[in-house]
């Protein structure tokens, strides 16, 4: 490793473009029957019951925060009512 | 798909237009919502089944689903495939006739423990014995759900059911052992908690030639759990998570399930054996030689 | 609907010496049946034994299933995959198949069930004849439904009426029952099988609509829906639950009424068109014997004996017993000076009650029963004819029963 000139600060090597995987969910409110599987088994634990409820009286799931969801779709696999699923997304370029 | 492939396929940015739920193309959406209770596991298995079908790249026009009577039997009515809701216990012989008349079809039997193993028990063992090429998905919730939670041949000893109000005292069947003993070439058990493994197993079974059996231990919160005071659907799922032990290749005689006891899951049997049709063709050709013609289905059906 | 001709591969053209069971098998093969599922039961087993031997060389298969419950539904799975299928049985097996006969009626599955009737009830007389399943044929499964039942009286008719059974099942999308008996089944006679081009076959009513327009249980003008088979992209649903035109479960009063009425009317409305009777000396008959199957052959002798004694007797032999030939019966019963009807059957009274009901007291109806095990002697039927034609005091005709 060559010796860095002592007078220059170390400049971190940053990729001009970074792809980060993020995800989001889509919920069909009226299908939800409030079983709680998606919330319990979400790996990053980003789901919670909404304050709102559907026409059958069930509180449906909602994202606690947009950034935490990885779009793994485990919620979609678990949901017995086909009311929720996850989608993987990419954010664009980061300078 | 590998994770790299999934990332590569994912849409850019925060798209307004998300791709649809992969299960949606398999549902008769006009028939939603379905009749299953909140917290029931059957819908979860349908998610796994649909993803397995997608990944298998099978021609969906050639997949037929045959079910019997019961809560699980209703799956046939909700999936957007050629589907047959038959009589109690007789999905397997119906499927046998269908598959043998048109071997190009992939025939999946999707039914419950009471339907397949109690009233359907005789047909189950004979189809396994013969290695009829049908894919059996058996949802075992330890009870007869649709009719109100009666004793099933899988109900564990001491469990309460509507016909054993003082607790079950009959030894239940160990379904994996029964399937293996009868001759099934693929035997696996998962619970509704093990969604990814289940999807994978269903995919293997779809590709496998011969009588395949997947037991899916599931919750019945309205009846089995409520009567036995063991919580709701989520509580049962937590139990599945805690109590399951993955043991691929386990000896099936050792994987019986006691009341709220450990559940051994995994792929227990995966062997090769000629199917019923293979054996028939081979024997007929040996005896009849050039005089043997196998096909039953009329080719020119539109006159 | 345009008819086609039999596939020569299955037609054993020629003059043969066959028993009824063998002839029935040939009838199935001639009709294009290439799939059979069955379970051994005397005296029907020979039908499928022959099928098992013949069909692999024609292109098809016989499945011996583990029981009649399996056999009666496996054949329906094969139908929905596109094959023509049948099964054969006798009394105890017929009872086991009842649920699936009802399933076939409810799902409008075209198929044929053959019952070679034997003495009953229960295990009864496995190797001896009876005709005691006739009401069971009509009403055996639960719920309201209609079936078609045919009764051959000879090995030749076992061939002809089995072909006819397949044709009726395709035309009306209904299970058709061929109600043989052990005597006809095990009797050997000349059977002439015509060339394939002379045998008419009713083709399966496959839809030509594209999948997005097709509704699996939407009826055409004759109340019969178009058929689709699995594997062609129709993604249809079949269920035994009360269902709508799409085939989806729809369990409410209106759908029940619409569906069950159509299933019944589908057959009843066409009962006259499907009637097929043999009439012997009916033109001037005062006493008419009604008999079907093997009993009709004895009855014909009895009618001849009566004529020799100067009694104007005649024979009405329905080959299609269900739906019963109401129209013809009522015509006969309405004749001036008609003395009465004799119903001779190899049971303690089954079709007799249908005749009594239809005649509604206008003329006497005498039953000439037999508990089974062998056929009537002509003298027994003659006695009933003479009793029927004997002068009676004026007044309301009495309904009498000849008991033995």
CA distance B136 to B208: 12
CATH of range C279-389; options 2.60.40.10, 1.10.730.10, 3.40.50.920, 1.10.560.10:
3.40.50.920
Q: Does B195 touch chain A (CB under 8 A)?
A: yes
CATH 3.40.50.970 fits C4-201, yes or no: yes
Q: Which of residues 58-97 of C touch B (CB under 8 A)?
A: 58-61, 63, 65-67, 69-71, 73-85
User: Is position B206 within any domain?
Assistant: yes
Mean local confidence (pLDDT), C174-192: 98
pLDDT score at A22: 85
CA distance B106 to B137: 13
User: Is position A95 within any domain?
Assistant: no
Angle, helices C378-389 vs C294-308, to 10°: value is 60
Instruction: Name the minimum distance, in Å, from the CA of B246 to any CA of chain A.
Output: 19
User: Is position A37 within any domain?
Assistant: yes
Whether the predicted pLDDT of C404 surpasses 50: no
pLDDT above 90 coverage of chain C, percent: 94
Residues of C in contact with B297 (CB under 8 A): 34, 81-83
> Which ranges constitute the DSSP H helices of C149-203?
155-172, 182-186
pLDDT score at A95: 39
pLDDT tens per residue, range C291-304: 999 999 999 999 99
pLDDT tens per residue, range C93-108: 999 999 999 999 999 9
User: Is position B3 within any domain?
Assistant: no
pLDDT band at B301 (very low <50, low <70, confident <90, very high): very low
Cβ(C83)–Cβ(C75) under 8 Å?
no
CA distance C201 to C215: 26
User: Is position A74 within any domain?
Assistant: yes
Cβ(C277)–Cβ(C316) under 8 Å?
yes
pLDDT score at B283: 95
pLDDT score at B303: 25
For B94, other C-beta atoms within 10 Å of its C-beta total 31
Which of C59, C63, C73 is opposite residue B86, by nearest beta carbon? C73
Instruction: Name the minimum distance, in Å, from the CA of B36 to any CA of chain A.
Output: 8
Short-list B137, B144, B171, B150, CA closest to B257: B171
Domain that holds residue B81: 24-289
Which of C65, C79, C248 is opposite residue B77, by nearest beta carbon? C248
Q: What is the CATH number of the domain that holds A75?
A: 3.30.70.20
Whether the predicted pLDDT of C340 surpasses 80: yes
Number of domains within chain B: 1
Domain that holds residue A82: 26-90
Q: What is the CATH number of the domain that holds B155?
A: 3.40.50.970
Whether the predicted pLDDT of C219 surpasses 60: yes
Q: Which of residues 93-152 of B touch C (CB under 8 A)?
A: 93-102, 104-105, 122-123, 126
Mean pLDDT rounded to a whole number for chain C: 95
pLDDT tens per residue, range B251-286: 999 999 999 999 999 999 999 999 999 999 999 999
Q: B33 preceded by cis ω (within 30°)?
A: yes
Cβ(A44)–Cβ(A68) under 8 Å?
yes
CA distance C241 to C229: 19
Beta strands in C74-220 (DSSP E): 85-89, 111-119, 125-129, 148-150, 175-181, 188-193, 200-201
Q: Does B30 touch chain A (CB under 8 A)?
A: no
Number of domains within chain A: 1
pLDDT tens per residue, range C152-168: 999 999 999 999 999 99
Cβ(B142)–Cβ(B167) under 8 Å?
no
User: Is position A32 within any domain?
Assistant: yes
Residue C88, strand partner residues? C114
Q: Which of residues 337-396 of C touch B (CB under 8 A)?
A: none
Phi then psi for residue C247, to 5 deg, are 95, 0
Looking at the predicted complex, does its ipTM rise above 0.90?
yes
Instruction: Name the minimum distance, in Å, from the CA of C340 to any CA of chain B.
Output: 46
Mean local confidence (pLDDT), B174-202: 98
pLDDT tens per residue, range B121-175: 999 999 999 999 999 999 999 999 999 999 999 999 999 999 999 999 999 999 9
CA distance B248 to B200: 14
Radius of gyration of chain C (CA): 21
Do B43 and A82 lie within an 8 Å CB cutoff?
yes
User: Is position A60 within any domain?
Assistant: yes
Mean local confidence (pLDDT), A16-42: 87
User: Is position B210 within any domain?
Assistant: yes
Neighbours of chain C (3+ CB pairs under 8 A): B
Residues in contact with B219: Cβ distance below 8 Å, sequence separation at least 6, in sequence order: B39, B40, B41, B141, B192, B225, B233, B236, B237, B240
Mean local confidence (pLDDT), C176-188: 98
pLDDT above 70 coverage of chain C, percent: 96
User: Is position A42 within any domain?
Assistant: yes
Domain extents in chain C:
4-201, 279-389
pLDDT band at C14 (very low <50, low <70, confident <90, very high): very high
């Amino acid at each position: 490793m060559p010796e860095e000139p002592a007078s220059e600060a170390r400049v971190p090597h940053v990729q001009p473009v970074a792809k980060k995987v993020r995800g989001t969910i889509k919920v069909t409110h009226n299908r939800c029957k409030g079983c709680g599987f998606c919330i319990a088994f979400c790996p990053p634990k980003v789901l919670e019951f909404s304050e709102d409820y559907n026409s059958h009286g069930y509180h449906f799931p909602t994202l606690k925060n947009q950034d935490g969801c990885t779009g793994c779709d485990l919620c979609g696999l678990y949901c017995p009512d086909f009311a929720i699923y996850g989608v993987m997304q990419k954010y664009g370029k980061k300078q | 798909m590998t994770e790299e492939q999934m990332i590569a396929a994912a849409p850019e940015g925060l798209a307004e237009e998300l791709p649809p739920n992969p299960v949606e193309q398999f549902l008769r959406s006009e028939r939603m919502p379905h009749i299953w209770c909140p917290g029931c596991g059957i819908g979860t298995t349908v998610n796994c089944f649909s993803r397995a079908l997608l990944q298998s790249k099978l021609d969906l026009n050639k997949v037929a689903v045959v079910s019997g009577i019961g809560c699980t039997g209703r799956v046939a009515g909700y999936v957007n495939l050629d589907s047959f809701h038959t009589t109690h216990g007789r999905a397997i012989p119906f499927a046998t006739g269908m598959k043998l008349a048109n071997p190009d079809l992939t025939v999946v039997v999707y039914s419950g423990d009471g339907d397949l193993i109690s009233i359907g028990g005789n047909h189950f063992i004979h189809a396994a014995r013969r290695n009829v090429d049908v894919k059996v998905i058996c949802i075992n919730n330890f009870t007869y759900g649709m009719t109100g939670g009666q004793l099933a041949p899988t109900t564990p000893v001491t469990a309460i059911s509507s016909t054993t109000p003082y607790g079950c005292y009959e030894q239940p069947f160990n379904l994996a052992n029964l399937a293996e003993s009868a001759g099934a070439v693929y035997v696996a058990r998962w619970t509704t908690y093990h969604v990814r493994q289940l999807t994978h197993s269903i995919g293997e079974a779809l590709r496998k030639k011969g009588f395949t059996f997947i037991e899916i231990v599931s919750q019945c919160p309205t009846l089995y759990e409520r009567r036995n005071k063991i919580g709701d659907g989520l509580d049962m799922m937590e139990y599945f998570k805690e109590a399951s032990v993955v043991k691929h290749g386990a000896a099936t005689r050792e994987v019986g399930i006691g009341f709220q006891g450990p559940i051994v899951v995994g792929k227990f049997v995966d062997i090769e054996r000629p199917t019923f049709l293979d054996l028939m063709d081979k024997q007929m050709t040996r005896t009849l030689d050039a005089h043997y013609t196998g096909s039953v289905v009329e080719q020119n059906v539109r006159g | 609907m345009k008819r086609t001709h039999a596939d020569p591969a299955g037609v054993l053209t020629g003059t043969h010496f066959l028993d009824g069971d063998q002839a029935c098998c040939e009838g199935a093969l001639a009709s294009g049946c290439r799939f059979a599922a069955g379970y051994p039961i005397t005296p029907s087993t020979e039908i499928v034994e022959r099928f098992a031997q013949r069909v692999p060389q024609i292109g098809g298969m016989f499945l011996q299933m583990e029981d009649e419950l399996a056999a009666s539904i496996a054949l329906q799975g094969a139908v929905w995959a596109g094959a023509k299928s049948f099964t054969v049985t006798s009394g105890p097996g017929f009872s086991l198949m009842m649920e699936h006969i009802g399933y076939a009626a409810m799902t409008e599955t075209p198929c044929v069930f053959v019952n070679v009737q034997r003495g009953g009830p229960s295990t009864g007389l496995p190797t001896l004849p009876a005709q005691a399943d006739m009401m069971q044929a009509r009403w055996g499964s639960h719920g309201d439904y209609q079936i078609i039942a045919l009764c051959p009286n000879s090995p030749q008719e076992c061939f002809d009426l089995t072909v006819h059974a397949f044709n009726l099942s395709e035309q009306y999308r209904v299970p058709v029952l061929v109600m043989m008996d052990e005597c006809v089944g095990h009797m050997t006679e000349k059977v002439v099988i015509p060339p394939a081009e002379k045998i008419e076959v009713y083709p399966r009513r496959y839809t030509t609509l594209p999948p997005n327009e097709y509704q699996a249980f939407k009826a055409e003008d004759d109340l019969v829906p178009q058929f689709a088979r699995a594997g062609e992209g129709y993604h249809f649903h079949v269920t035994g639950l009360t269902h709508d035109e799409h085939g989806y479960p729809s369990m409410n009063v209106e759908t029940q009424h619409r569906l069950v009425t159509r299933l019944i009317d589908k057959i009843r409305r066409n009962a006259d068109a499907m009637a097929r009777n043999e009439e012997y000396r009916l033109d001037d008959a005062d006493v008419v014997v009604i008999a079907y199957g093997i009993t009709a052959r004895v009855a014909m002798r009895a009618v001849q004996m009566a004529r020799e004694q100067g009694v104007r007797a005649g024979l009405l032999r329905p080959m299609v017993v269900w739906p019963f030939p109401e129209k013809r019966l009522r015509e006969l019963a309405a004749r001036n000076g008609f003395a009465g009807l004799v119903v001779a059957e190899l049971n303690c009274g089954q079709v007799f009650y249908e005749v009594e009901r239809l005649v509604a007291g206008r003329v006497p109806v005498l039953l000439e029963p037999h508990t089974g095990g062998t056929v009537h002697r002509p003298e027994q039927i003659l006695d009933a004819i003479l009793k029927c034609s004997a002068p009676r005091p004026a007044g309301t005709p009495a309904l009498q029963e000849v008991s033995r």
